[in-house]
Amino acid sequence: MLSVKSRLFVMRSIAVAVVTLGLSSGLAIPAAAQEVVLRFQHFVSQASANPTHFMLPWAEKIERDSGGRIRVEVYPAMQLGGTPAGMYDLIRDGAIDGGWVIPGYTPGRFPRSEVLELPFMVTKSAEEASRAAWILAQKHMAEDFADVHVIAVHMHGRGLVYNKGPGLSDVADFDGLRLRGPNRPATLLLERLGAVPVGLPVPAFPEALARGVVDGGVITYEQAPSLRLGELTQSHTDVAGEMSLYNLFFLWAMNRDRYESLPPDLRAVIDANSGFHASAWAGRAHDTGDAEGRDALMAAGHEAAVLSDEATARIRELGDEVIAEWVARMTARGIDAEALLSDARAAVQVTRGRD
């Protein structure tokens, strides 16, 4: 009979042989031992609202729900390379596993997503707007985003006008102001207001302010702290009522081949953290960030202005002109813009206040 020491030696030898045979013959390692690392990227500070209140908690939940078998690494400020405007292609081509996309940074490429960015289309609640965005995307945007696997779509919070000078009180106050615009609907509206729109992604905005390239721009409360808007501008102006002056449409997406290469149980983890509720979560992150950003601005003595009902009504009229132009342009491209617009408005109404 073998001694205890001899039996242990034999057992260890058998275990080593099994592992070696498995590696050399391509046998699968048990699923519980596998670990998948997904590298996601965005273009803002890690301290911004969406990374803080959505992206990083989402990554932690994926790891927790997968029992540690998936680890999501979230890289800020384009640390993995590329530009904000090129994010969709980075995901599509597999240069990164996933990331945050603003379709409006490439005007005309993703035409259907523009409908919720039109003037006064969504409420000032990012969570409400994001619920509508998911519903509309499911019905109308599969073709636009077919090259990637969409996890969530969402909107940001209320769009504000920041200015180096005092707050705006009338439409005439826009005349001649050089204002940063993030997308085509916003720049078209600024143009009709008499401003000079300057298209800039978020990371370029502070330097443009500091160098005098722009007098201000349209952006949210939540971006104010990370972009130092309390220092670089004197005031911010909102429109009256509960509808937002403008908005932006976002994707949280991953490379389609990478998603499909995951084993079914790990794809199920991604799926369980995708869709309507994930989109609402991403929007809610912006609402939280808006409250924090507004508090920071107020504490710094930033001037807050709200346009009168009369001035807001005039801006809405100009916004209606932008919408009519958009409908004509989309129709010329073979898109049923009237149906898209009608469904967008219906989605906004049906998701207001919905849990």
DSSP string across 82-143: S-GGGHHHHHHHTSSSEEEE-GGGSTTTSGGGGGGGSTT-SBS-HHHHHHHHHHHHHHH-TT
Residues 205 and 336 in one domain: yes
Q: Is residue 133 part of a domain?
A: yes
> Range with the lowest mean pLDDT among 17-26, 52-61, 88-97, 245-254?
17-26
Residue 4 lies in a domain: no
Amino acid at 45: S
Q: Are residues 174 and 138 in the same domain?
A: no
pLDDT band, very low/low/confident/very high, at 243 (cuts 50, 70, 90): very high
Residue 353 is predicted with a pLDDT of: 65
Domain containing 308 equals 160-246+300-351
Rounded to whole angstroms, the Cα distance separating 44 from 222 reads 12
Q: How many domains does the chain have?
A: 2
Residue 10 pLDDT more than 50?
no
Query: Is the same domain home to 176 and 198?
Result: yes
Residue 235 lies in a domain: yes
Looking at the domain assignment, is residue 101 inside a domain? yes
Residue 326, in any domain of the structure = yes
Q: Is 24 in a helix, a strand, or coil?
A: helix
Q: Count of residues for the chain?
A: 355
CA–CA gap between residue 6 and residue 26 (Å, rounded) = 30
| Residue 11 confidence (pLDDT) above 50 | no
The model's confidence at residue 352, banded by pLDDT at 50, 70 and 90, is confident
Tell me the whole-structure pTM to 2 decimals: 0.89
pLDDT-based confidence at 50, cuts 50/70/90? very high
